[in-house]
Structure 1
Amino acid sequence: MKRKSLFALSAVVVVAAAALVPVLWSGGDNLHNGTAMAATPADQAALIKKGEYLARAGDCIACHTVRGGKQFAGGLPMATPFGTMFTPNITPDDQYGIGKWTQDDFYRAMHTGRSKDGSLLYPGFPFTSYTKVTRADSDAIYAYLRSVTPINVPSRPHELKFPFNQRNMLIGWRTLFFREGEYKPDPTKSVEWNRGAYLIEGLGHCGMCHTSINAMGGPVSSAAFAGGLIPLQNWYAPSLTSNKEAGLGDWETKDIADLLKTGVSNRGAVFGPMAEVVHNSLQYMSDEDINAMATYLKTIPQKSEAPEPLQLETSEKFGGELLKQGQKIYADNCAKCHAENGLGMPPAFPPLANNQSIQMPSAVNPIRMVLNGGYPPSTDANPHPYGMPPFAQALSNQEVAAVVTYIRMSWGNHGTAVSPQQVSDLRSAPLD
């Protein structure tokens, strides 16, 4: 699931991706493969409307708009292990934006990861996913971006460490990790399933967060959608291929759709980066597309192997002490909303019993929620979500470890004990 989402070299990919998305509309004519085709005002208005919808599906605004800033003017800093990238201005400004881009320029960026001048784009721009987008959809996004207000603001250059600031090095990276090509429908699957696959694997670029990356910043293809820690963001994107995490094989399709569309469902709620994806992107998707995505997600093959362990281990004796201590802390602080039996009061207060996100090998997300609290996204279908209060000031590292240990090991949950050291590490980590 989007990662607005916005990731290590992945972060580099997101930024580069942002740089790709911008392309300019050439006034009244539609240029396609160098051929001018007359477009009526009604045709152009429909194309722009379609492009706006697709840009929402790709969550372009999340990367290319600074909070409180001008829409699509770029400048959002994206910290990565290789330095900081800054998203580009993708408004139709002739000097600093994509005002002089053609449809072909834009499609080349989306499809091949090359800018207008032919230079290689960093994989922070998710061209590895956007390459699956059809030419028709690319042209629609281009038309929409060409219609927004031009902003005369220069794009800030990236601040990457040597040798990552050398774009020619991307040739080797692309050879290893990039396969160009539009999405090809699976003839053995339904139209709905293929639509969901197209959105998840293409514009949604869900794999950028839910697939771990290696030391070179490339996706681990053998572990696609198998989850991973989002570098420098200190959130864990759970596996979609394991029912022990966020695998959805035993979910009802409606619960998946509700979670994507509103951020809450009878099975749980989204927080952190995924909440931003729902807020900026998924809540605006049609019910048909949301159901298509849910249909596809439900069929992702489930694997028995566990993901790479990310948990600091405690001794069995100390884990037992934490469990006992955590029971009292839970009763005093958590049971009012989540109930003594952990079943909660969904969708307002999600269940903790039989909740995969609570008992995953990585306890990063529940620790962060206890420390920092948070809210599911505010959406049209759920405009006033109930939130989780922060306990960082009220509970010590050991007390947080104790209550997280308790919820991970109670009511039939099969999680493991949490180390106070891991709580300490996350307490001092940045919130974003």
Structure 2
Amino acid sequence: MRRLVYSLIFLAALVLLAVAALVALNLRGEDAVSEPSAAFVATPAQIERGRYLALAGNCASCHTTHGGSPFAGGVGIETPFGTVFASNLTPERNAGIGSWSAAHFWRAMHNGRSKDGHLLYPAFPYPSFTRVTREDSDAIYAYLRTVPPAATPNRPHKLRFPYDTQAALAVWRALFFTPGSFVADPARPAEWNRGAYLVEGLGHCIACHGTRNVLGATEEKLGLSGGLIPVENWYAPSLTSKREAGVADWPPEDVVALLKNGSSPRGSVMGPMADVVYRSTQHLSDADLHAMAVFLKQLPDSTPGTAPAADTAPQRRDAGQMARGSRIYDQRCAYCHGDAGQGAENAYPPLAGNRAVLMDSTANLIQVVRNGGFLPATAGNPRPYGMPPFGHVLDDDDIAAVLTYIRGSWGNDAAPVSRRDTMRR
């Protein structure tokens, strides 16, 4: 009996220690928030800077519904664990953040904790925003205080158990989140550091271009090495591989053009990245875009080594599937993309030698054929060409066939696409 009592005491002590460790890990790097001794007074310059920074962070994309009040929240963010609904950021006191102080807002950005102390879900990308400076956080807060207040109530999240509990979120944070700050690299020029701050902080590029583990946390060690965007089934290509979306060999002006206009002589954007350009990067200054280009160009190359071309056997393709794909291409694709996949300058991209066509992941190709592909309308490209959807006239086998044909023609030699590939999307 005594042994049982001692065992229970020992287990209780272990539980208490585990809880204490969990609490400590969730409070690390966090200062107590005290009531402000004076009212927050923002200058016009600070408000304008906050407006610009909110664009850099693409805040409206998640916090503004289609046709809804600006920053009133309500957008559902689909995750593998359920739906997280973005909150109301307007200065309305009850539904929004009108009762928040600048310190409360900073704690949300830096520590991922709301005013009332509850932990925030990382669909709000505080693992990246933790690098944002207090000065920039205060500027964004100052700007949000100027938007029209909206009484739109916050929608409760729809997450499966146990992901809907604060305890599960606390464990996740203990494992995968450490508050931090941006530290400039003294060995790098100021422009590179500015680009790093924007890409790694407000730009939260890793949220899409990073690899995630089974619990949805980005693998920081892998950096911007690409990954499938959960639920959306778009693949955000690696920014560190010249085979995917790496820009190490691009002129800086082409990178700037891509981020500013949505298209450049070296490529164009579609899918989720089109929304990023439309809502965010097209509004940034040329100086900041150039800084981002400098940083992105100097990312370490993660492209795996390859065998010499002479030692690499061509991909094997089914002759019947290639013939079927050829017929579909002639009927549906050649008018715009050319008989030999050469494209049309300043209109339709070439398919021959196009690295977006040749990537190992075929997720984006399937999405574009099935649902269409549209560039963003920007000041530099106000009437972009787009691709119509073909999902209503092509079945899964047709899509697999035409993509297999495109990936195996005009010098292209990428792996065939199977019906199973198309069914996953």
Matched residue, 1:134: 133
Shift of 1:325: 3.2
Amino acid at match of 1:377: P
Amino acid at match of 1:136: E
Q: How does 1:105-116 map to 2 (within 5 A)?
A: 105-116=104-115
Offset, 1:299? 1.1
The unaligned stretches of length 5 or more in structure 1 are: 1-30, 307-314, 427-432
TM (norm. structure 1) is 0.84
- 1:72 is displaced (CA, Å) by 0.8
**Structure 2 gaps, min length 5:** 1-32, 306-313
How much is the aligned-residue C-alpha RMSD, in angstroms? 2.2
The size of the alignment, in residue pairs, is 385
> Is 1:160 aligned to residue 159 of structure 2?
yes
> 8 Å contact 1:319–1:418 — kept in the other structure?
no
CA distance, structure 2, for counterparts of residue 53 and residue 201 of structure 1? 17
User: 2:410 and 2:34 mapped to 1: Cα distance?
Assistant: 59
Partner of 1:413: 412
Q: For the Cα contact (< 8 Å) 1:268–1:351, is it kept in 2? A: no
Q: Is the 2:315–2:415 contact (alpha carbons within 8 Å) kept by the matching residues of 1? A: no
Contact 1:353 1:411 survives alignment (8 Å): yes
Question: In the aligned structure 1, how far is the partner of 2:381 from the partner of 2:316?
Answer: 43
For the pair shown, the structure with the greater C-alpha radius of gyration is 2
Q: Which residue number corresponds to residue 24 of structure 1?
A: none
Query: More deviation in 108-117 or 343-352?
Result: 343-352
| 1:110–1:131 CA contact under 8 A, matched in 2 | yes
Q: Is the 8 A contact 2:270 2:373 kept in 1?
A: yes
Secondary structure of the equivalent of 2:417?
Answer: coil
Q: Which residue of 2 aligns with 1:101?
A: 100
Aligned to 2:77: 78
Q: Counterpart of 2:30?
A: none
Give the match for residue 234 of structure 1.
Answer: 233
Contact 1:78 1:85 in 2 (8 A): yes
Q: Conserved in 2, the CA contact under 8 Å of 1:267 and 1:350? A: no
**In structure 1, what is the equivalent of residue 3 of structure 2?**
none
Residues 129 and 202 of structure 2 are in contact (CA less than 8 Å); yes or no, is this contact kept in structure 1? yes
Pairwise mapping of residues 54-69 of structure 1 onto structure 2 (< 5 A)?
54-69=53-68
Mapped pair 1:270 → 2:269: yes
| Aligned residues of 1:269 and 1:347 also touching (Cα < 8 A) | no
Task: For 1:329, give the aligned amino acid.
Answer: I
Residues 323, 248 of structure 1: alpha-carbon distance in 2 compared, 3 angstrom cutoff? farther
TM-score, structure 2 normalization = 0.86
Partner-residue secondary structure (3-state), 2:374: coil
SS in 2 for 1:147: coil
- Aligned runs of 1:140-289 on 2, under 5 Å? 140-289=139-288
Query: CA 1:345–1:35 in structure 2 vs 1: closer, same or farther (change >3 Å)?
Result: farther
Using CA pairs below 8 Å that are at least 6 residues apart, which structure has the higher relative contact order?
A: 1
Deviations 1:383-407 (A, max 9, x none): 1111102222333322221221122
AA of the residue aligned to 1:184: V
Alpha-carbon distance in structure 2 between the residues aligned to 1:50 and 1:143: 9
Q: C-alpha deviations, 1:198-226, integer Å up to 9, x for none?
A: 00000000001111211111112332211
Pairing of 1:288-307 with structure 2 (within 5 A): 288-305=287-304
User: Residue 330 of structure 1 aligns to which amino acid in structure 2?
Assistant: Y
Task: Check the 8 A contact 2:192/2:295 in 1, yes or no.
Answer: yes
Give the % identical residues: 50
In 2, Cα distance between equivalents of 1:193 and 1:400: 42
**Residues 360 and 32 of structure 1: CA distance in aligned 2, closer, same or farther (over 3 Å):** farther
Q: Which residue of 1 aligns with 2:395?
A: 396
- Conservation of the 8 A alpha-carbon contact between 1:322 and 1:417: no
Give the direction of change, closer, same or farther, for the CA distance of 1:146–1:326 in structure 2 (3 Å limit): same
CA distance in 2, matches of 1:275, 1:38: 36
On the 8 A contact 1:120/1:168 being kept in 2, the answer is: no
Contact 1:113-1:127 at 8 Å conserved across structures = yes
Q: Deviations over 1:32-84 (max 9, x none)?
A: 99564995xxx711111110000000011000111111111111112212111
Q: In the alignment, which residue of structure 1 is the partner of 2:343?
A: 344
